[in-house]
Amino acid sequence: MDSEILSKTNRLFWLGRYVERTLISIEIMQDAYDRAIDYEEFDYTTFCEKLEIECPYETSDGFILGFLFDESYFYSVVNSLNYAYDNAIVLREVISSSALSYIQMAVNIMQSAAAGVAPMLELQSVVDMLYAFRGCCDDSILDTHSRYTVKCGYSVERIDMYVRLGFHTHTLDREFARLQSRLQRTPMRRDGQKLMVLLGMAPNPDPANNRDLLLECVEGLFLDV
Amino acid sequence: MQDLIAHTARINDQLARYGVKFGIYKNGTFNERLFPFDAIARVISADEWETLSRGLAQRVDALNAFLADVYGPRRIIADGVVPEDFTISSPGFLAPCVGITPPKGIYSHISGIDLVQSRDGTWYVLEDNLRIPSGASDPLISRDICRRCSPETFRRNNVMENRTYGSMLKEVMDNVNCGGINVIFTPGRYNAAYFEHSYLAEQANAVLAEANDLYVEDERVYYKSFDGDQRVGAIYRRVSDEYMDPTCFLPESVIGIPNLMTAYRAGNVAIINAPGNGVADDKGIYYFVPRMVTYYLDQEPILQNAPTYLPMFEEDMSYVMDNFESLVIKDTAEAGGYGVVFAGTLPAEAREDLRRKVAGNPRRWIAQEIIDFCELPVHLPEGDVLRKADLRAFVLTGRETRVWPSGLTRYSREEGNAIVNSSQGGGFKDTWILKS
């Protein structure tokens, strides 16, 4: 496909990825924050190494808050959500005003949570809005290609994050099955070889030993985005 | 209406939820602002609306006839009704449009006519906007939310439905469609009215497209889609004339569609509104619109202009100079509430400076009597206050010319201020048209 044709496909795919990245990141940070209460500091250095992102913070608490709310930190959760919004805002007539409104509300809550008295608690409302967005998309995106392109974004991001962080690895086989079903219904072209490798590894992905191969295949699976 | 007014804050929260914002560039930076909504609606009775809507349709029909004439035989100039200075010498006149007849002969499909009501109840037209008037989406979405907040208010009041705008817009597009899909062509999300572009695309079941999504081949316009390229039959463009086609207008435009004008000239695509309409909504040509009504339609104008003077006419110049302090001076080169000066409020030196400018370049300026237009109540937490307000009515020309039974009522932010534009900090209200 001509790269210009893909502007909307690209946006749908990345909308899915950024929504999923926000959800997983919040889940991890809520867990880390909870553990930090009992003096078990979050190993943010390793976390950043696994994600291959830079880390400008020097304490565990500083990292958690910065990673969640610091708009000057490129990799922060608030920015992931802003990137989701940047994609959603130009897709209103595809995803519907109703679906877009959940992203807008998530952005509004995220901004107020940063300045709020109980930011971790308020993050739950961001999660609620993003799940509402996903449900609404299922109902309001009538075009199958568009709907499944967003879903492929969810799947790719989830597998990518789980593999990188060794998080929820016991569910990876289920995620592969989901991705396999979803990619049949998107117009995005696939790299057949990488797909075969992924499907071959699906029953036992073993991310501890196959990390690089899994990431290469899942990141490079779709040729057009 | 009290029950509805009590929900003002909630309604504004809902509008924020749906991203009802406008963009503004300040010091080179793009910012988005919420457009404050006041729940006290402007109410127009059925009788008043009947006259108003007839006058608006009449005015737009005359303006469409003027556009067909000025890009065609130019009878109105030959007959001395409008001077050449205000037509083919106007910056809004586009030479590449001469001789092109748009589909169905319609130039202004969506016209935004700005009116004010004086304290004695008379409505005056302040401005005609025939290029890309914006603002219909705000009362459209706010009505939906208001009805949800206070259904009882709408049960008790006999208000005409305004949520038909999307279908009216679709009809307008379908009427001139030359074969293919309907597209709303936006410069992109950093445009001041992007919310409106995307919302209207959804409401009118049209495709929202940017320049990169569209191309011209064999004098036809195509949209690049998942399922192959689709022919485009009508484009509701929200891009200014000069940026629309770099091969015809500004070559440096990166938000235009190369060769769009070729497809338009060949009659293969409708452009809504037609390029070149700026010649009919110039602040100077406004003076002549009542004469156009008489000239083209052989009717008496139903709606009045605000009393206006053109300094380029000797008699008017003399009046303007003698009464400078009591007039509002408008720079015809500006828009969006900018370049509007109440001469009496200026310090003496600035006023004399402006007077010299008007005398030195009379074509650039118009002068108007200050209309003491009525104020409307605005609800604030500390109590209701009065603010100046105007009305932008939307007139849609398809198979016939129809006025949308609603409109954007804008009010000023500060007491006594008559500038109501959103870019100047004002807010908006819904406009209720009562059923008879």
CA of A9: which chain B residue's CA is closest?
B226
Whether A61 maps to a domain, the answer reads: yes
Would you call B17 and A8 a contact, using CB atoms and an 8 Å cutoff? no
- What is the identity of the amino acid at B432? W
Judged against a pLDDT cut of 80, whether residue A108 lies above it is answered with yes
Whether A177 maps to a domain, the answer reads: no
More confident residue, A176 or B21: A176
Which chain B residues are within 8 Å of A101, Cβ to Cβ? Answer: 17-19
DSSP H or E segment with residue A174: helix A172-183
pLDDT in tens, chain B (436 residues): 889 999 999 999 999 989 888 777 777 777 788 899 999 999 999 999 999 999 999 999 999 999 999 999 999 999 999 988 888 888 899 999 999 999 999 999 999 999 999 999 999 999 999 999 999 999 999 999 999 899 899 999 999 999 999 999 999 999 999 999 999 999 998 898 999 999 999 999 999 999 999 999 999 999 998 778 999 999 999 999 999 999 999 999 999 999 999 999 999 999 999 999 999 998 889 999 999 999 999 999 999 999 999 999 999 999 999 999 999 999 887 766 678 899 999 999 999 999 999 999 998 899 999 888 889 999 988 889 999 999 999 999 999 999 999 999 999 988 877 777 766 678 999 999 999 7
Instruction: Looking at the structure, give the CATH architecture of the domain made up of residues B307-369.
Output: 2-Layer Sandwich (3.30)
Q: What percent of chain A shows pLDDT beyond 70? A: 97
Picking from A43, A12, A6, the residue whose alpha carbon sits closest to that of residue A146 is A12
Would you call A101 and B201 a contact, using CB atoms and an 8 Å cutoff? no
The phi, psi pair for B181, rounded to 5°, reads -85, 165
Query: What ipTM, to 2 d.p.?
Result: 0.70
pLDDT of residue B140: 96
Would you call B208 and A93 a contact, using CB atoms and an 8 Å cutoff? yes
Whether A207 maps to a domain, the answer reads: no
pLDDT of residue B89: 83
pLDDT of residue A5: 44
pLDDT of residue B32: 80
Nearest-angstrom CA–CA distance, A186 and B84: 58
pLDDT of residue B339: 80
Report the number of distinct structural domains present in chain A: 1
Which chain B residues are within 8 Å of A90, Cβ to Cβ? Answer: 188-189, 198, 208
- Determine the distance in angstroms separating the CA of A27 from the nearest CA of chain B, rounded to an integer: 24
- Which pLDDT tens digit goes with each residue over A120-142? 888 999 999 999 999 999 999 98
- Determine the distance in angstroms separating the CA of B246 from the nearest CA of chain A, rounded to an integer: 19
Domain range holding A112?
3-167
pLDDT of residue A4: 40
Which residue ranges make up each domain of chain B? 2-299+388-433, 307-369
Whether A191 maps to a domain, the answer reads: no
Would you call B198 and A92 a contact, using CB atoms and an 8 Å cutoff? yes
